[in-house]
Amino acid sequence: MARIDEFLTEVLNRKGSDLHFIAGDPPRLRLYGDLQPLRPEPLKADFVRETLYEIMPPKAVTRFEQQEGADFAYSVPGLARFRVNIMRQLNGMGAVCRVIPSAALTLDQLNMPDAVRTLCRANSGLILVTGKTGSGKSTTLAAMIDDINTRLKGHILTIEDPIEFVHQRKSCLISQREVGVHAPSFADAVHSALREDPDVVLVGEMRDLETISVAVTAAEMGILVMGTLHTNGAAPTVDRIVNAFPADKQSHVRTMLSTSLRGVISQQLLPRAGQAGRVAALEIMVNTPAVSNLIRQGKIDQLENTMQSGAAHGMRTMDMAIQQLLDGRVITGREAYRKAINKQRFESFKNDA
């Protein structure tokens, strides 16, 4: 049993989502969005170094010693899997371990709206799930992959760094590749995927121009591509993809996106009112003819207006999603104000606990 296992077990027992294991600080867990001390005593640098080297795979050790940081998956048999990021910091080494549920939740269990289910039924194109780190993007994508895996007979290929949810084969053949272990980079893995007869490709993170370019090309070729971006909102997501390309290519990329993009789901997690746990607020943009025209013409700033009037297609802005949760008393007025994009809309609720 590795020394870190007792800390990870305690995080799981307290229903935490992350362990922060940093030299010079007490170990902390993230519980429903807030960091809390796990133990009072600061961790000694030598203890942290020895504990982390104990669980690092050889390739992660090499990467860490070359780049001062590494990502990998770690399993506690019979307990859970964790996504681990190890870095060097002022007082020594540190790590953040994110809990990965043992099985993907379903769209029903996540109470996903019908628009998300409709997106899962697309045969080709690009679907993006966006939000900041810890907003539940991986959980949403895993549920969407599980839905496809249950309904269709095809080949699903996932490319991640590291592999998070391990999907069981249901109706589909599932191939899961880890960057740094099974492929040198996201871009290389997506390039290779074009020759591997996939029906669905999940790109764990679209972090550079080459990966974005190949993913958009794959979507144009008739493959259903799902990916994540660290952006807040549908319009900034489209903007980010277009601006990743050189200026002379952006017009062409807008045209490609206007036809290949199926939808953007942007999400954040809010604490529930009066009970433990968090709930997802989802902004949803579906690529209707009106949205397609705006993307092609570069009128990204008008997308929000189209989303506000697109309820019939399942579209909604983040503030509309937050308002719905507030009306249902799922969240407090204070949280609605704190997480809202347009603060004025929720000004009268900002002191409601």
Residue 38 has pLDDT above 70, yes or no: yes
Which band of pLDDT confidence, cut at 50, 70 and 90, is reported for residue 162? confident
Residue 43 burial class via C-beta count within 10 angstroms: exposed 0-12, middle 13-18, buried 19 and up? buried
Is this prediction's pTM over 0.85? yes
User: Which residue(s) pair with 248 in the sheet?
Assistant: none
Instruction: Return contacts of 259-262, CB within 8 angstroms, 24+ apart.
Output: 259/220, 259/292, 260/124, 260/125, 260/126, 260/216, 260/219, 260/220, 261/125, 261/126, 261/128, 261/219, 261/287, 261/295, 262/119, 262/122, 262/125, 262/126, 262/127, 262/224, 262/286, 262/287
Which band of pLDDT confidence, cut at 50, 70 and 90, is reported for residue 101? confident
Mean pLDDT of the residues in the chain: 94
The pLDDT, as a whole number, for residue 350 is 84
Residue 45 has pLDDT above 90, yes or no: yes
298-320: average pLDDT: 96
How far are the Cα atoms of 60, 64, 74, 76 from residue 54, in angstroms, in the given order? 11, 14, 11, 13
**Any idea how long the chain is?**
353
| Nearest CA-CA partner of 269 in 287, 281, 277, 257 | 281
How many Å apart are CA 73 and CA 218, to the nearest integer? 27
Residue 33 has pLDDT above 90, yes or no: no
How many Å apart are CA 133 and CA 88, to the nearest integer? 20
Strand-pair category, 278-286 with 92-100 = unpaired
Q: What is the 3-state secondary structure (H, E, C) of 37-96?
A: ECCCCCECHHHHHHHHHHHCCHHHHHHHHHHCEEEEEEEECCCEEEEEEEEEECCEEEEE
**pLDDT tens digit string along 313-338?**
999 999 999 999 999 999 999 999 99
The pLDDT, as a whole number, for residue 191 is 93
| Nearest CA-CA partner of 139 in 320, 271, 313, 265 | 265
Residue 235 has pLDDT above 70, yes or no: yes
**pLDDT tens digit string along 171-207?**
999 999 998 889 999 999 999 999 999 999 999 989 8
**pLDDT tens digit string along 124-142?**
999 999 999 889 999 999 9
Residue 3 has pLDDT above 70, yes or no: yes
Which band of pLDDT confidence, cut at 50, 70 and 90, is reported for residue 353? low
Residue 241 has pLDDT above 70, yes or no: yes
Other Cβ atoms within 10 Å of 93 Cβ, number: 22
The pLDDT, as a whole number, for residue 77 is 83
Residue 298 has pLDDT above 90, yes or no: yes
Residue 14 has pLDDT above 70, yes or no: yes
How far are the Cα atoms of 12, 54, 184, 207, 313 from residue 64, in angstroms, in the given order? 27, 14, 16, 20, 46
| Nearest CA-CA partner of 11 in 66, 79, 72, 59 | 79
